Amino acid sequence: MEDYEIAADILGKLRAKKGSIKGLCLAPRVKNKKKVYALICETLKMYPILTNLLDRTNFSAREPRVARDLATVLAHDLLFAKRGVLCGGWMKSTMTRHRTVLRAALLALARERRVEGLPSDPENAPSAVARAVLKHLDSGNQDVPLPRYVRVNTLRTTVAKAVKEFQRTKIVRKGTETQTLWKYGGLIDDWRSMAPDTFYQDPHLPELLVFPPSTDFHLDAQYKSGSIVLQDKASCFPAFILAPPPGAHCIDGCAAPGNKTSHLCAKLRNQGHITAFDLDARRLETLKTMTTRAGCRVIEAVHGSFLDADPARFPQVTHILLDPSCSGSGIVARLDALVDTQLAENPDEATVAANDLDRLLKLAEFQQQCVLHAMKFASVQFISYSTCSIHAKENEQVVAAILAAQNDFELAPRDRVLPTWPHRGEVGHGLSADNANKVVRAAPDDGTNGFFVALFVRKVIDVNAPPTAVKEEKPKNRAERRAMAAARAEPVESDAMEVDDEVVDVGRQSTRGPSSNKAPVRQSNVPTAGSSSSAVPAAGSSSSAVPAAGGSAGAARKKKIKRKHKHLPIVTRKTA
């Protein structure tokens, strides 16, 4: 009885827009969270029909003691749940009294709406009528259901082992286990043509397996052990594109519930460090649970806002993943969207809510703040920005605003950002055709939820680029040389010039770089996806891509110059 009363209370709060489905169902007072959550979701899907049936039968007038929201959740289980109303006492007796009239109203409604597949004797087969109505609704909600994606957690297993394990596993759909074992179909060409008993490997993300819609994994042994993660394909893009090498220090700025964080950890191979920020303490606990089950060992969960993080405290961070709050407009069959569509009193209300310009502008401002704050971290080289939104205001326009607001970062080239993925950004909205080609979009036509990803990379300085040098006059004698050195406030040796990282000898290549016929050395290399090396030193390393002045390499160069070029004048390199 308590579950129905709690579900009715949650339904009322959702109608009043006083919370989200997950937030209300995961509250401490809800003891049977999974049961209540499922009841709310299923009731929302059927909400227009349920209210229609209650109105047709004049239920509220006949049973004034039963509140409308309570009657709605009870009517759902009475008509559509396999086990009926799961309570006793006055609630069950009340609903039982109205069972016949409610079933008759459902049949009448099904006939009015020309529901196909009704039984030949519908009056005596109420369960068959209910199934036909449910099938009719499901077919109208989505033309082509999206596949179920499974990310193989490479911290606990390999793709090959996961494939073999699935081939020994019976197919389960919506909680019902069949006697059929899964078949493996290799790389999938067209996600729309999947066989119902076959799973495949994704052609873009090697650690992703693709299953037919409605496949249920919650009882699967690999799911329970953390060897697989249920994650939409597009949601896997950010960590895959960011591609931090093992040993890197990373930040996940808006981390909970943790799927992207655990994917990031898998990319690191549990080597390095991830600081995961989230403002919601409860969601942060969910992150801890999920990442622990996934075998993550290098994650530090921080309860707080990423915008409050002091960049000076994270000098080793080189990669930042940002998936900030967004409208969620790209999520197909998004649960909270059910509230906007099914509970809307005005048919146009949902459309207005989804396109609320003021809300989108506020979200876009917050998203820009997150990325610009990430760019303040001194050692950061790569920043991935993603949303599950279809709106250009949260995607291309945010990227364009960020590019215009600073000069230190640019968009990574296409060959670094899922180069074989065909769906790129929209031209316009402040982005040139070249920059739009560097970002990624995804949509239901691609077999995923709506999604957007951009990768910002720090601009690099070529330390071997031809310098803009000012040649000094050659001193005529020792006294002039001392006077020139004193003017520069540099120490002087009796027979040789001091050479530091910004000084080269005339007529030769930089003493820091290779010969001119080799590729230039950069202060920070741009590793390709899947690379296991990085120009950024690992934690605790004292090495640097450019030797410091006075180091052993510098000393060796000085000795060489002393022996061969004692009296050559010097020029000062101007760095960008």
User: DSSP labels for 54-98?
Assistant: HHHTTHHHH-TTS-HHHHHHHHHHHHH-TT-----HHHHHHHHHT
Is 278 annotated to bind a ligand? Reply is: yes
Tokens read off for 23: 């937030």
Rounded to an integer, what distance in angstroms lies between the CA atom of residue 155 and that of residue 11?
A: 40
Distance CA 41, CA 77 (A): 12
Side chain identity, residue 94:
T
Pairing of strands 503-505, 570-572: antiparallel
**Residue 84: CA atoms inside 13 Å, Cβ hemisphere, count?**
11
Q: Does 257 show up as a binding residue in the annotation?
A: yes
Give CA–CA dist 242/384, Å, rounded. Answer: 6
User: Is it true that the peptide bond before 257 is cis, omega within 30 degrees of 0?
Assistant: yes
Question: In terms of DSSP H, where are the helices of 415-523?
Answer: 433-436, 478-488
Side chain identity at 295, as an amino acid letter? G
388 is catalytic: yes
265 carries a ligand binding annotation = no
C-alpha to C-alpha distance for 95 and 17, rounded to whole angstroms: 28
Asked whether residue 260 is marked as a ligand-binding residue, the answer is: yes
Options 25, 236, 265, 388, the catalytic residue: 388
Q: Is 554 annotated as a binding residue?
A: no
CB contact set of 128 (below 8 Å; sequence gap of 6+): 118, 119, 122
Task: Check: CB of residue 570 under 8 Å from CB of residue 475.
Answer: no
Is 436 annotated among the ligand-binding residues?
no
Q: Please name the amino acid found at residue 342.
A: Q
In the beta sheet, which residues pair with residue 410? 457
- Confirm whether residue 255 is marked as ligand binding: yes
Q: Are 277 and 305 in contact (CB under 8 A)?
A: yes
Using DSSP's 3-state secondary structure scheme, residue 551 falls into coil
Q: What is the DSSP string of 113-136?
A: TT-TT--SSGGG-HHHHHHHHHHH
Instruction: Compute the half-sphere exposure of residue 61: CA atoms within 13 Å on the CB side of its CA.
Output: 4
Q: Could you give the residue ranges of the DSSP H alpha helices within 355-450?
A: 357-374, 396-405, 433-436
Joined tokens for residue 491: 């120490």
Helix residue ranges, H only, 294-356: 335-342, 349-354
Tokens of 208: 């992703």
Residues designated as active site:
388
**Binding site: what residues are annotated?**
254-260, 278, 323
Residue numbers belonging to the annotated binding site for S-adenosyl-L-methionine: 254-260, 278, 323
